[in-house]
Amino acid sequence: MQFHKTTLTEIIDKNVDVGLRYSDVIQFLPLCRAFLKDGQLWVCCTPDGPPEVRTSCSAPAPDDAIICRNENDLSSGRFEIFVMPETQLGRLVQALGKLKEKAIREGRDE
């Protein structure tokens, strides 16, 4: 993992935005939560959900993740984790994004 203007200890149990790195676009899933599990950095993408949802919507941060402090958009998480779309965390973010888009199309924002 690459850390920019932050450290691992600063992001544990904090809100983080997860960004998927595409060639020219970044897709964000805001207000996730970073935590340690068995000494490895994990991210929960539904930190306000019930325990069974939090467990199923968590994934490890990959070794090539880029973790940085967000100093621009203070209305979102203070930290950002950038991952590639094909990682476990990247696939989870994509799946949750599709669910949210579907909910919006169906007239509910969940």
Q: Residue 109 above 60 pLDDT?
A: no
Q: Per residue in 19-62, pLDDT tens?
A: 998 777 678 888 899 999 999 999 998 888 777 777 888 999 99
pLDDT band at 73 (very low <50, low <70, confident <90, very high): low
Q: Per residue in 3-29, pLDDT tens?
A: 888 889 999 999 899 999 877 767 888
Within its chain, how far is the Cα of 71 from the centroid? Answer: 17
